[in-house]
Amino acid sequence: MSAGHALLGLLADGERHGYDLRRQYLRRFPAAKPLAAAQIYATLERLLRDGLVAAGATERAGGPDRTIFTVTAQGRAELHRWLSEVEVPSEYVANLLSMKVVLALLVADEKSAADFLRRQREAHLARMREHTRVKSDPDADLLRVVAADYALNHLDADLRWIDTTLQRVTQLAEEIRP
């Protein structure tokens, strides 16, 4: 998972400070492993160094100073590049697909999210074909077959989610951007 891209996505609709980003992250990705505060600030420092975000005014409201961050044009370009990039299907279940859909809906539109899901479906099915060829080979040993089975079932689970989400994307768009 790319914490940097997640923060860029959450900054895309307006300026935020680190604490607010952490709250937004929890709200937008409730099933994701929470980002520690230190990780958020370290990631923001890196984004700042790379010119992907800019630091603005400092806020103080009954607590420590809080620096406001905004996404730069370069950061926005990097975010869109990342959002349009098909993920190489992993052998592990990853919530990255769900996150991309949510962020695509936040920073772009329903069509972008649906297009991503369709292209991701193709990438998953292409990988499933590769595993199927491996396990269908009459000379394949059982260890390879069992390993291919594992990968196939995980990819199949993702693919079912992709199909279901494609059916729900209109409703999801309305819920995220009422």
Provide the binding-site residues for another protein, judged by CB under 8 A. Answer: 86, 115, 118-119, 121-126, 128-129, 131-132, 135-136, 138, 152-153, 155-156, 159-160, 163, 167
- Let me know: does 3 contact 99? Beta carbons within 8 Å: no
Interatomic CA distance for residues 20 and 143, integer angstroms: 48
At closest approach, how far in Å is the CB of 139 from another protein? 12
Question: Which amino acid is present at 61?
Answer: A
Q: Which is nearer to another protein, 21 or 113 (CB)?
A: 113
Q: What is 119-140 written as a DSSP string?
A: HHHHHHHHHHHHHHHHHH-TT-
CB of 122 to another protein, least distance (A): 4
Nearest Cα neighbor of 37 from 54, 14, 61, 20 is 20
Nearer to another protein, 32 or 123 (CB): 123
Least distance to another protein from the beta carbon of 143, Å? 16
Q: For residues 12 and 159, which CB has a smaller minimum distance to another protein in the complex?
A: 159
